[in-house]
Structure 1
Protein backbone atom coordinates (compact mmCIF):
# COMPACT_ATOMS: atom_id res chain seq x y z
CA UNK A 1 0.00 0.00 0.00
CA UNK A 2 2.80 2.39 0.85
CA UNK A 3 4.24 2.13 -2.64
CA UNK A 4 0.84 2.79 -4.19
CA UNK A 5 0.27 5.82 -1.97
CA UNK A 6 3.72 7.20 -2.74
CA UNK A 7 2.91 6.96 -6.43
CA UNK A 8 -0.40 8.78 -5.98
CA UNK A 9 1.23 11.57 -3.99
CA UNK A 10 4.01 12.11 -6.51
CA UNK A 11 1.81 11.87 -9.59
CA UNK A 12 -0.24 14.83 -8.46
CA UNK A 13 2.91 16.88 -7.90
CA UNK A 14 3.33 16.76 -4.13
CA UNK A 15 6.73 16.33 -2.53
CA UNK A 16 7.45 13.19 -0.58
CA UNK A 17 9.85 12.04 2.13
CA UNK A 18 9.74 8.35 1.26
CA UNK A 19 10.94 5.94 3.92
CA UNK A 20 11.98 2.31 4.05
CA UNK A 21 14.31 0.17 6.13
CA UNK A 22 16.69 0.21 3.15
CA UNK A 23 16.84 3.55 1.32
CA UNK A 24 18.23 1.78 -1.77
CA UNK A 25 14.79 0.26 -2.36
CA UNK A 26 13.47 3.78 -3.00
CA UNK A 27 15.83 4.40 -5.94
CA UNK A 28 13.13 3.78 -8.61
CA UNK A 29 11.05 6.61 -7.11
CA UNK A 30 14.03 8.96 -7.08
CA UNK A 31 14.96 8.03 -10.64
CA UNK A 32 11.45 8.81 -11.84
CA UNK A 33 10.53 11.85 -9.75
CA UNK A 34 13.90 13.40 -8.92
CA UNK A 35 13.85 16.24 -6.41
CA UNK A 36 10.22 15.56 -5.51
CA UNK A 37 11.47 12.64 -3.40
CA UNK A 38 13.70 12.55 -0.36
CA UNK A 39 14.64 8.91 0.30
CA UNK A 40 15.22 8.04 3.94
CA UNK A 41 16.28 4.69 5.30
CA UNK A 42 15.63 3.78 8.94
CA UNK A 43 13.82 1.32 11.19
CA UNK A 44 10.71 2.72 12.89
CA UNK A 45 11.58 0.72 15.99
CA UNK A 46 14.59 3.00 16.53
CA UNK A 47 13.26 6.17 18.16
CA UNK A 48 16.53 8.06 17.68
CA UNK A 49 16.66 7.20 13.98
CA UNK A 50 13.04 8.30 13.63
CA UNK A 51 13.74 11.71 15.14
CA UNK A 52 16.78 12.16 12.91
CA UNK A 53 14.77 11.23 9.79
CA UNK A 54 11.96 13.64 10.65
CA UNK A 55 14.48 16.41 11.27
CA UNK A 56 16.10 15.69 7.89
CA UNK A 57 12.74 15.83 6.10
CA UNK A 58 11.77 19.08 7.83
CA UNK A 59 15.11 20.66 6.96
CA UNK A 60 14.89 19.50 3.33
CA UNK A 61 11.28 20.50 2.65
CA UNK A 62 10.75 23.23 5.23
CA UNK A 63 8.26 21.15 7.21
CA UNK A 64 6.02 18.10 7.12
CA UNK A 65 2.38 18.73 6.27
CA UNK A 66 1.17 15.12 6.26
CA UNK A 67 2.51 12.11 8.14
CA UNK A 68 1.45 8.63 7.04
CA UNK A 69 2.32 5.84 9.45
CA UNK A 70 2.16 2.74 7.27
CA UNK A 71 4.96 0.47 8.51
CA UNK A 72 3.75 -2.76 10.04
CA UNK A 73 3.55 -6.52 10.02
CA UNK A 74 0.99 -9.14 11.05
CA UNK A 75 2.15 -11.78 13.50
CA UNK A 76 0.00 -14.88 13.13
CA UNK A 77 -0.14 -17.12 16.15
CA UNK A 78 -2.15 -17.92 19.25
CA UNK A 79 -1.19 -15.99 22.37
CA UNK A 80 0.56 -19.02 23.84
CA UNK A 81 2.40 -19.80 20.60
CA UNK A 82 4.23 -16.52 20.05
CA UNK A 83 7.68 -16.01 21.52
CA UNK A 84 8.58 -13.12 23.82
CA UNK A 85 10.71 -11.63 21.05
CA UNK A 86 7.90 -11.88 18.48
CA UNK A 87 5.42 -10.22 20.83
CA UNK A 88 7.81 -7.35 21.51
CA UNK A 89 8.64 -6.88 17.83
CA UNK A 90 4.94 -6.73 16.95
CA UNK A 91 4.33 -3.90 19.40
CA UNK A 92 7.58 -2.13 18.53
CA UNK A 93 6.70 -1.96 14.83
CA UNK A 94 2.92 -1.49 14.83
CA UNK A 95 2.51 0.67 17.92
CA UNK A 96 5.76 2.23 19.11
CA UNK A 97 6.93 2.98 15.56
CA UNK A 98 3.91 5.19 14.78
CA UNK A 99 4.15 6.67 18.27
CA UNK A 100 7.78 7.74 17.71
CA UNK A 101 7.09 9.29 14.29
CA UNK A 102 3.95 11.03 15.50
CA UNK A 103 5.72 12.56 18.49
CA UNK A 104 8.57 13.68 16.24
CA UNK A 105 6.37 15.65 13.80
CA UNK A 106 4.08 17.29 16.36
CA UNK A 107 6.31 20.22 17.40
CA UNK A 108 6.72 21.32 13.78
CA UNK A 109 3.01 20.93 13.00
CA UNK A 110 2.01 22.90 16.08
CA UNK A 111 4.47 25.67 15.21
CA UNK A 112 3.05 25.95 11.68
CA UNK A 113 -0.55 25.80 12.90
CA UNK A 114 -1.71 22.62 11.24
CA UNK A 115 -1.04 19.19 9.82
CA UNK A 116 -2.48 15.80 9.03
CA UNK A 117 -1.59 12.48 10.65
CA UNK A 118 -2.82 9.30 8.99
CA UNK A 119 -2.44 6.21 11.14
CA UNK A 120 -2.77 2.93 9.25
CA UNK A 121 -4.70 0.72 11.62
CA UNK A 122 -6.87 -2.17 10.45
CA UNK A 123 -10.29 -3.72 10.74
CA UNK A 124 -8.27 -5.64 13.32
CA UNK A 125 -8.02 -2.43 15.32
CA UNK A 126 -11.75 -2.66 16.02
CA UNK A 127 -12.50 -6.39 16.12
CA UNK A 128 -10.40 -9.39 17.21
CA UNK A 129 -10.06 -12.89 15.80
CA UNK A 130 -8.29 -15.97 17.15
CA UNK A 131 -4.62 -16.46 16.19
CA UNK A 132 -4.07 -12.71 15.77
CA UNK A 133 -4.01 -11.58 19.39
CA UNK A 134 -0.69 -9.74 19.35
CA UNK A 135 -1.49 -8.07 16.03
CA UNK A 136 -4.83 -6.91 17.42
CA UNK A 137 -3.16 -5.67 20.59
CA UNK A 138 -0.82 -3.47 18.53
CA UNK A 139 -3.65 -2.01 16.45
CA UNK A 140 -6.02 -1.52 19.39
CA UNK A 141 -3.21 0.36 21.14
CA UNK A 142 -2.72 2.54 18.06
CA UNK A 143 -6.46 3.25 17.93
CA UNK A 144 -6.57 4.30 21.58
CA UNK A 145 -3.58 6.62 21.50
CA UNK A 146 -4.72 8.15 18.22
CA UNK A 147 -8.20 8.96 19.55
CA UNK A 148 -6.65 10.70 22.56
CA UNK A 149 -4.15 12.46 20.31
CA UNK A 150 -6.90 13.78 18.05
CA UNK A 151 -8.50 15.60 20.98
CA UNK A 152 -5.15 16.90 22.23
CA UNK A 153 -4.04 18.45 18.95
CA UNK A 154 -7.39 19.69 17.62
CA UNK A 155 -6.74 23.25 18.95
CA UNK A 156 -3.64 23.38 16.73
CA UNK A 157 -5.56 22.47 13.55
CA UNK A 158 -3.88 19.05 13.41
CA UNK A 159 -6.23 16.36 12.14
CA UNK A 160 -5.80 12.66 12.96
CA UNK A 161 -7.37 9.85 10.93
CA UNK A 162 -7.23 6.12 11.54
CA UNK A 163 -7.35 4.20 8.26
CA UNK A 164 -8.77 0.71 8.82
CA UNK A 165 -8.17 -1.50 5.77
CA UNK A 166 -10.23 -4.69 5.44
CA UNK A 167 -8.47 -7.18 3.14
CA UNK A 168 -6.08 -6.21 0.33
CA UNK A 169 -3.56 -8.33 -1.60
CA UNK A 170 -0.65 -6.37 -0.17
CA UNK A 171 1.52 -9.33 0.76
CA UNK A 172 1.24 -8.42 4.45
CA UNK A 173 0.36 -11.91 5.64
CA UNK A 174 2.89 -13.79 3.51
CA UNK A 175 5.76 -11.44 4.41
CA UNK A 176 5.05 -11.33 8.14
CA UNK A 177 6.56 -13.58 10.81
CA UNK A 178 4.70 -16.71 11.85
CA UNK A 179 4.58 -18.20 15.32
CA UNK A 180 5.52 -21.81 15.94
CA UNK A 181 2.36 -23.84 15.33
CA UNK A 182 1.05 -25.91 18.21
CA UNK A 183 -1.55 -28.55 17.36
CA UNK A 184 -3.46 -27.48 20.46
CA UNK A 185 -4.41 -24.27 18.61
CA UNK A 186 -5.13 -25.66 15.16
CA UNK A 187 -8.77 -24.74 15.71
CA UNK A 188 -7.78 -21.07 16.15
CA UNK A 189 -6.11 -20.88 12.74
CA UNK A 190 -8.99 -22.73 11.11
CA UNK A 191 -11.43 -20.24 12.60
CA UNK A 192 -9.33 -17.28 11.48
CA UNK A 193 -9.05 -18.34 7.85
CA UNK A 194 -12.63 -19.59 7.63
CA UNK A 195 -13.90 -16.27 8.91
CA UNK A 196 -11.99 -14.32 6.25
CA UNK A 197 -12.92 -16.59 3.35
CA UNK A 198 -16.05 -14.61 2.44
CA UNK A 199 -14.29 -11.24 2.16
CA UNK A 200 -13.43 -10.11 -1.37
CA UNK A 201 -10.00 -8.39 -1.38
CA UNK A 202 -9.90 -4.77 -2.50
CA UNK A 203 -7.72 -3.17 -5.18
CA UNK A 204 -4.53 -1.74 -3.67
CA UNK A 205 -4.11 0.79 -6.49
CA UNK A 206 -7.51 2.31 -5.68
CA UNK A 207 -6.45 3.19 -2.14
CA UNK A 208 -4.11 5.96 -3.28
CA UNK A 209 -6.99 8.15 -4.42
CA UNK A 210 -8.81 7.47 -1.15
CA UNK A 211 -5.78 8.62 0.84
CA UNK A 212 -5.63 11.88 -1.11
CA UNK A 213 -9.34 12.43 -0.44
CA UNK A 214 -8.65 12.18 3.29
CA UNK A 215 -5.65 14.52 3.06
CA UNK A 216 -7.69 17.14 1.20
CA UNK A 217 -10.85 16.89 3.33
CA UNK A 218 -11.55 20.00 5.38
CA UNK A 219 -12.95 17.87 8.20
CA UNK A 220 -11.54 14.36 7.82
CA UNK A 221 -12.97 11.49 9.89
CA UNK A 222 -11.28 10.10 12.97
CA UNK A 223 -11.85 6.61 11.55
CA UNK A 224 -12.50 5.29 8.06
CA UNK A 225 -12.69 1.74 6.75
CA UNK A 226 -10.88 0.98 3.49
CA UNK A 227 -12.76 -1.66 1.53
CA UNK A 228 -16.18 -3.24 1.76
CA UNK A 229 -17.50 -5.86 4.16
CA UNK A 230 -15.97 -4.36 7.26
CA UNK A 231 -18.99 -2.34 8.30
CA UNK A 232 -21.02 -5.50 8.91
CA UNK A 233 -18.19 -6.88 11.05
CA UNK A 234 -18.06 -3.69 13.09
CA UNK A 235 -21.84 -3.60 13.60
CA UNK A 236 -21.80 -7.19 14.85
CA UNK A 237 -18.84 -6.49 17.14
CA UNK A 238 -20.44 -3.53 18.86
CA UNK A 239 -23.83 -5.23 19.14
CA UNK A 240 -22.10 -8.16 20.86
CA UNK A 241 -20.28 -5.84 23.26
CA UNK A 242 -23.46 -4.00 24.22
CA UNK A 243 -25.29 -7.28 24.71
CA UNK A 244 -22.59 -8.47 27.11
CA UNK A 245 -22.48 -5.24 29.12
CA UNK A 246 -26.26 -5.17 29.42
CA UNK A 247 -26.48 -8.85 30.40
CA UNK A 248 -24.01 -8.33 33.25
CA UNK A 249 -25.24 -4.90 34.36
CA UNK A 250 -26.36 -6.32 37.70
CA UNK A 251 -22.78 -7.30 38.47
CA UNK A 252 -21.61 -3.86 37.32
CA UNK A 253 -23.97 -2.27 39.84
CA UNK A 254 -22.95 -4.77 42.51
CA UNK A 255 -19.32 -3.75 42.00
CA UNK A 256 -20.25 -0.10 42.44
CA UNK A 257 -21.54 -0.68 45.94
CA UNK A 258 -23.73 1.74 47.81
Structure 2
Protein backbone atom coordinates (compact mmCIF):
# COMPACT_ATOMS: atom_id res chain seq x y z
CA UNK A 1 0.00 0.00 0.00
CA UNK A 2 1.21 3.51 -0.80
CA UNK A 3 2.20 5.94 1.91
CA UNK A 4 -0.34 8.74 2.57
CA UNK A 5 0.17 11.73 0.29
CA UNK A 6 1.92 14.73 1.91
CA UNK A 7 -1.31 16.71 1.67
CA UNK A 8 -4.54 14.77 1.01
CA UNK A 9 -6.21 15.76 -2.24
CA UNK A 10 -9.74 15.82 -3.53
CA UNK A 11 -10.37 14.16 -6.90
CA UNK A 12 -13.17 14.25 -9.46
CA UNK A 13 -12.93 11.20 -11.73
CA UNK A 14 -15.31 10.43 -14.58
CA UNK A 15 -15.85 6.84 -15.67
CA UNK A 16 -14.80 5.84 -12.15
CA UNK A 17 -16.97 2.73 -11.84
CA UNK A 18 -14.61 0.54 -13.89
CA UNK A 19 -11.24 0.22 -15.58
CA UNK A 20 -8.56 2.86 -15.18
CA UNK A 21 -10.97 5.25 -13.46
CA UNK A 22 -11.85 2.80 -10.73
CA UNK A 23 -8.22 1.75 -10.25
CA UNK A 24 -7.24 5.39 -9.84
CA UNK A 25 -10.09 6.09 -7.42
CA UNK A 26 -9.08 3.11 -5.28
CA UNK A 27 -5.41 4.13 -5.26
CA UNK A 28 -6.28 7.69 -4.25
CA UNK A 29 -8.59 6.51 -1.46
CA UNK A 30 -5.99 4.06 -0.16
CA UNK A 31 -3.55 6.86 0.45
CA UNK A 32 -6.08 9.04 2.24
CA UNK A 33 -7.46 11.24 -0.51
CA UNK A 34 -11.15 12.00 -1.15
CA UNK A 35 -12.82 11.16 -4.45
CA UNK A 36 -15.95 12.26 -6.30
CA UNK A 37 -16.68 9.24 -8.50
CA UNK A 38 -18.80 10.12 -11.51
CA UNK A 39 -20.15 7.46 -13.85
CA UNK A 40 -23.40 6.24 -15.32
CA UNK A 41 -23.56 3.58 -12.59
CA UNK A 42 -21.61 5.31 -9.81
CA UNK A 43 -22.20 4.08 -6.26
CA UNK A 44 -20.16 4.40 -3.07
CA UNK A 45 -21.12 0.84 -2.05
CA UNK A 46 -18.55 -0.63 -4.42
CA UNK A 47 -15.71 0.88 -2.39
CA UNK A 48 -14.37 -0.45 0.92
CA UNK A 49 -16.39 0.57 3.95
CA UNK A 50 -13.44 2.37 5.54
CA UNK A 51 -13.22 4.70 2.53
CA UNK A 52 -16.88 5.56 1.99
CA UNK A 53 -16.85 8.70 4.12
CA UNK A 54 -14.38 10.10 1.57
CA UNK A 55 -16.42 9.09 -1.49
CA UNK A 56 -19.08 11.15 -3.22
CA UNK A 57 -20.85 9.11 -5.91
CA UNK A 58 -22.67 10.89 -8.73
CA UNK A 59 -24.50 9.23 -11.60
CA UNK A 60 -23.32 11.11 -14.66
CA UNK A 61 -23.59 11.00 -18.44
CA UNK A 62 -20.73 13.24 -19.59
CA UNK A 63 -22.52 14.06 -22.85
CA UNK A 64 -25.14 15.98 -20.79
CA UNK A 65 -23.49 19.37 -20.26
CA UNK A 66 -25.94 20.61 -17.63
CA UNK A 67 -25.51 17.37 -15.68
CA UNK A 68 -21.72 17.77 -15.82
CA UNK A 69 -21.96 21.32 -14.48
CA UNK A 70 -24.24 20.16 -11.65
CA UNK A 71 -21.99 17.22 -10.72
CA UNK A 72 -18.89 19.43 -10.59
CA UNK A 73 -20.68 22.02 -8.47
CA UNK A 74 -21.94 19.30 -6.12
CA UNK A 75 -18.41 17.95 -5.67
CA UNK A 76 -17.05 21.40 -4.84
CA UNK A 77 -19.90 22.05 -2.41
CA UNK A 78 -19.35 18.65 -0.73
CA UNK A 79 -15.57 18.73 -0.40
CA UNK A 80 -14.93 22.47 -0.40
CA UNK A 81 -12.37 22.27 -3.22
CA UNK A 82 -11.07 20.09 -6.03
CA UNK A 83 -7.40 19.34 -6.61
CA UNK A 84 -7.40 16.85 -9.48
CA UNK A 85 -10.02 16.40 -12.21
CA UNK A 86 -9.65 13.28 -14.37
CA UNK A 87 -11.39 13.06 -17.73
CA UNK A 88 -11.47 9.27 -17.93
CA UNK A 89 -14.96 8.47 -19.27
CA UNK A 90 -14.80 7.14 -22.79
CA UNK A 91 -15.67 4.36 -25.16
CA UNK A 92 -14.27 2.79 -28.29
CA UNK A 93 -15.68 2.28 -31.75
CA UNK A 94 -13.82 0.02 -34.16
CA UNK A 95 -14.22 -0.28 -37.89
CA UNK A 96 -12.99 0.94 -41.24
CA UNK A 97 -13.78 4.58 -41.94
CA UNK A 98 -16.02 3.74 -44.91
CA UNK A 99 -18.14 1.48 -42.71
CA UNK A 100 -19.18 4.02 -40.06
CA UNK A 101 -22.74 5.25 -39.98
CA UNK A 102 -23.32 8.90 -39.17
CA UNK A 103 -24.85 7.89 -35.84
CA UNK A 104 -21.83 5.78 -34.87
CA UNK A 105 -19.33 8.47 -35.86
CA UNK A 106 -21.13 11.20 -33.94
CA UNK A 107 -21.57 8.98 -30.88
CA UNK A 108 -17.81 8.37 -30.69
CA UNK A 109 -17.08 12.10 -30.67
CA UNK A 110 -19.92 12.89 -28.25
CA UNK A 111 -18.36 10.88 -25.41
CA UNK A 112 -14.62 11.03 -26.03
CA UNK A 113 -14.39 14.64 -27.15
CA UNK A 114 -17.49 16.62 -26.25
CA UNK A 115 -17.92 14.86 -22.90
CA UNK A 116 -14.31 15.69 -22.02
CA UNK A 117 -14.84 19.26 -23.22
CA UNK A 118 -17.85 19.77 -20.93
CA UNK A 119 -15.94 18.36 -17.95
CA UNK A 120 -12.91 20.54 -18.73
CA UNK A 121 -15.06 23.67 -18.95
CA UNK A 122 -16.86 22.89 -15.70
CA UNK A 123 -13.56 22.13 -13.96
CA UNK A 124 -11.92 25.35 -15.14
CA UNK A 125 -14.74 27.50 -13.79
CA UNK A 126 -13.85 26.24 -10.30
CA UNK A 127 -10.09 25.67 -10.55
CA UNK A 128 -9.53 29.07 -12.15
CA UNK A 129 -11.17 30.86 -9.22
CA UNK A 130 -9.37 28.55 -6.81
CA UNK A 131 -6.02 29.39 -8.43
CA UNK A 132 -4.77 25.81 -8.46
CA UNK A 133 -5.55 22.29 -9.62
CA UNK A 134 -4.56 19.65 -12.14
CA UNK A 135 -6.64 18.27 -15.02
CA UNK A 136 -5.70 14.84 -16.36
CA UNK A 137 -7.01 14.11 -19.84
CA UNK A 138 -7.03 10.36 -20.44
CA UNK A 139 -6.16 10.02 -24.10
CA UNK A 140 -4.82 6.84 -25.71
CA UNK A 141 -2.00 5.21 -27.60
CA UNK A 142 -4.41 5.69 -30.53
CA UNK A 143 -3.70 9.44 -30.40
CA UNK A 144 -0.04 8.80 -31.17
CA UNK A 145 -1.03 7.47 -34.56
CA UNK A 146 -4.12 6.17 -36.32
CA UNK A 147 -4.25 2.66 -37.72
CA UNK A 148 -6.70 0.64 -39.83
CA UNK A 149 -9.98 0.17 -37.90
CA UNK A 150 -9.08 2.71 -35.17
CA UNK A 151 -9.80 5.78 -37.28
CA UNK A 152 -12.85 7.18 -35.49
CA UNK A 153 -11.49 6.34 -32.04
CA UNK A 154 -8.19 7.98 -32.96
CA UNK A 155 -10.07 11.00 -34.33
CA UNK A 156 -11.82 11.48 -30.98
CA UNK A 157 -8.52 11.29 -29.09
CA UNK A 158 -6.68 13.54 -31.57
CA UNK A 159 -9.44 16.10 -31.01
CA UNK A 160 -9.12 15.71 -27.24
CA UNK A 161 -5.37 16.31 -27.41
CA UNK A 162 -5.67 19.37 -29.64
CA UNK A 163 -8.19 20.93 -27.29
CA UNK A 164 -6.08 20.00 -24.27
CA UNK A 165 -2.89 21.57 -25.63
CA UNK A 166 -4.67 24.91 -25.92
CA UNK A 167 -6.35 24.43 -22.53
CA UNK A 168 -2.96 23.80 -20.89
CA UNK A 169 -1.66 27.16 -22.09
CA UNK A 170 -4.86 28.99 -21.12
CA UNK A 171 -5.01 27.35 -17.69
CA UNK A 172 -1.36 27.97 -16.80
CA UNK A 173 -1.94 31.67 -16.16
CA UNK A 174 -4.40 30.72 -13.41
CA UNK A 175 -2.09 28.20 -11.72
CA UNK A 176 -3.93 25.20 -13.17
CA UNK A 177 -1.97 22.31 -14.73
CA UNK A 178 -3.08 20.05 -17.57
CA UNK A 179 -1.54 16.70 -18.51
CA UNK A 180 -2.52 14.46 -21.42
CA UNK A 181 -2.13 10.82 -20.36
CA UNK A 182 -1.60 8.32 -23.19
CA UNK A 183 -2.18 4.74 -21.93
CA UNK A 184 -1.15 1.70 -23.91
CA UNK A 185 -2.93 -1.60 -23.29
CA UNK A 186 -4.53 -2.28 -19.90
CA UNK A 187 -6.94 -4.99 -18.79
CA UNK A 188 -10.18 -3.02 -18.71
CA UNK A 189 -13.55 -3.58 -20.37
CA UNK A 190 -12.84 -0.97 -23.07
CA UNK A 191 -12.46 -3.72 -25.67
CA UNK A 192 -15.32 -5.93 -24.48
CA UNK A 193 -17.78 -3.03 -24.52
CA UNK A 194 -16.65 -1.44 -27.77
CA UNK A 195 -18.96 -0.78 -30.70
CA UNK A 196 -18.05 -2.38 -34.01
CA UNK A 197 -19.18 -1.43 -37.48
CA UNK A 198 -20.84 -3.89 -39.84
CA UNK A 199 -17.92 -5.43 -41.75
CA UNK A 200 -17.75 -4.63 -45.43
CA UNK A 201 -16.57 -7.60 -47.51
CA UNK A 202 -13.80 -5.75 -49.41
CA UNK A 203 -11.98 -5.16 -46.11
CA UNK A 204 -11.96 -8.86 -45.08
CA UNK A 205 -8.29 -9.47 -46.02
CA UNK A 206 -7.17 -6.38 -44.09
CA UNK A 207 -9.20 -7.48 -41.07
CA UNK A 208 -7.61 -10.90 -41.13
CA UNK A 209 -4.13 -9.40 -41.23
CA UNK A 210 -4.93 -7.04 -38.33
CA UNK A 211 -6.25 -9.92 -36.23
CA UNK A 212 -3.02 -11.82 -36.86
CA UNK A 213 -0.89 -8.84 -35.83
CA UNK A 214 -2.88 -8.18 -32.68
CA UNK A 215 -2.73 -11.83 -31.64
CA UNK A 216 1.05 -11.74 -31.89
CA UNK A 217 1.77 -8.32 -30.41
CA UNK A 218 -0.90 -7.46 -27.84
CA UNK A 219 0.48 -6.33 -24.46
CA UNK A 220 -1.93 -5.48 -21.65
CA UNK A 221 -1.16 -4.56 -18.05
CA UNK A 222 -2.84 -4.26 -14.66
CA UNK A 223 -4.75 -0.94 -14.41
CA UNK A 224 -3.25 -0.46 -10.94
CA UNK A 225 0.11 0.22 -12.60
CA UNK A 226 -1.48 3.09 -14.54
CA UNK A 227 -3.01 4.40 -11.30
CA UNK A 228 0.37 4.36 -9.57
CA UNK A 229 1.90 6.29 -12.46
CA UNK A 230 -0.83 8.93 -12.29
CA UNK A 231 -0.35 9.36 -8.54
CA UNK A 232 3.34 9.96 -9.20
CA UNK A 233 2.33 12.43 -11.91
CA UNK A 234 0.11 14.58 -9.70
CA UNK A 235 2.69 14.54 -6.90
CA UNK A 236 5.19 16.24 -9.21
CA UNK A 237 5.36 20.03 -8.97
CA UNK A 238 6.24 20.35 -12.66
CA UNK A 239 4.18 17.70 -14.47
CA UNK A 240 4.63 17.21 -18.22
CA UNK A 241 2.08 18.14 -20.85
CA UNK A 242 2.08 14.49 -22.00
CA UNK A 243 2.79 11.21 -20.25
CA UNK A 244 2.88 7.88 -22.11
CA UNK A 245 1.90 4.89 -19.96
CA UNK A 246 3.60 1.63 -20.85
CA UNK A 247 6.54 0.62 -23.02
CA UNK A 248 4.34 0.12 -26.07
CA UNK A 249 3.03 3.69 -25.91
CA UNK A 250 6.48 5.08 -25.13
CA UNK A 251 8.15 3.26 -28.02
CA UNK A 252 5.38 4.13 -30.46
CA UNK A 253 5.62 7.82 -29.52
CA UNK A 254 9.29 7.80 -30.47
CA UNK A 255 8.78 5.77 -33.64
CA UNK A 256 5.94 7.95 -34.92
CA UNK A 257 7.82 11.16 -34.09
CA UNK A 258 10.94 9.98 -35.92
CA UNK A 259 8.88 8.93 -38.95
CA UNK A 260 7.17 12.32 -39.13
CA UNK A 261 10.45 14.20 -38.78
CA UNK A 262 12.00 12.10 -41.54
CA UNK A 263 9.02 12.74 -43.83
CA UNK A 264 9.06 16.50 -43.20
CA UNK A 265 12.79 16.56 -43.91
CA UNK A 266 12.40 14.60 -47.14
CA UNK A 267 9.78 17.04 -48.37
CA UNK A 268 11.39 20.20 -46.98
CA UNK A 269 12.09 21.73 -50.39
CA UNK A 270 8.47 21.38 -51.49
CA UNK A 271 7.20 22.71 -48.16
CA UNK A 272 9.40 25.82 -48.23
CA UNK A 273 8.65 26.53 -51.90
CA UNK A 274 4.96 26.89 -51.02
CA UNK A 275 5.64 30.04 -49.00
CA UNK A 276 6.74 33.39 -50.36
CA UNK A 277 5.43 36.65 -49.00
CA UNK A 278 3.52 38.82 -51.49
CA UNK A 279 1.35 41.94 -51.07
CA UNK A 280 -2.25 41.27 -50.13
CA UNK A 281 -4.31 40.66 -53.31
CA UNK A 282 -7.04 43.16 -54.08
CA UNK A 283 -9.69 40.42 -54.00
CA UNK A 284 -9.17 39.69 -50.27
CA UNK A 285 -8.79 43.26 -49.02
TM-score normalised per structure 1: 0.93
Q: Distance in 1 between matches of 2:164 and 2:208?
A: 32
Corresponding residue to 2:92 among 74, 78, 84: 74
Measure how far apart 1:152 and its partner are.
Answer: 1.1
TM-aligned CA deviation for residue 58 of structure 1: 0.8
Aligned-partner Cα distance in 2 for 1:223–1:111: 25
Name 1:146's counterpart in structure 2. 164
Is the alpha carbon distance of 1:173 and 1:152 closer, same or farther for their aligned partners in structure 2, counting shifts above 3 Å? Answer: same
Q: Which has the higher helix share?
A: 1
1:157 to 167, 170, 175: 175
Is contact 2:45–2:52 with CA below 8 Å preserved after alignment? no
Residues 81-90 or 183-192, more deviating: 183-192
Q: Deviations over 1:91-128 (max 9, x none)?
A: 11111111100100112111111100000001111111
Question: Unaligned regions of 5+ residues in structure 1, if any?
Answer: none
Write the distance in 2 (CA, Å) between the matches of 1:235 and 1:48: 40
Separation (CA, whole Å) in 2 of partners of 1:191 and 1:96 = 33
- For 2:32 and 2:164, the matched residues in 1 are separated by 29
CA distance in 1, matches of 2:195, 2:211: 17
Report the CA distance shift for 1:176/1:134 in structure 2 as closer, same or farther (over 3 A): same
Q: Which aligned pairs between 1:174-185 and structure 2 lie closer than 5 A?
A: 174-185=192-203
Aligned residues: 257
Among residues 237, 245, 267, which one is paired with 1:248 in the alignment? 267
Q: Is this contact kept in 1: 2:144–2:252, CA < 8 A?
A: no
Aligned to 1:55: 73
Q: Is the 8 A contact 1:131 1:188 kept in 2?
A: no
Report the 3-state secondary structure (helix = DSSP H, G, I; strand = E; otherwise coil) of the residue aligned with 2:182: strand
Residue 280 of structure 2 is matched in structure 1 by none
**SS in structure 1 opposite 2:57?**
strand
Aligned 8 A contact 1:199 1:229 in 2: no
1:91 aligns with 2:128: no
2:281 counterpart residue number: none
Q: Larger C-alpha radius of gyration, 1 or 2?
A: 2
2:5 maps to none
C-alpha RMSD of matched pairs (Å): 1.7
1:236 equivalenced with 2:276 (yes/no) = no
Partners of 1:31 and 1:181 lie apart in 2 by: 46
Aligned to 1:33: 51
Change (3 A) 1:191 1:225: farther
Q: Unaligned regions of 5+ residues in structure 2, if any? A: 1-19, 278-285
Which residue of structure 2 aligns with residue 225 of structure 1?
Answer: 244
Structure number with higher relative contact order (C-alpha < 8 Å, ≥ 6 residues apart): 1
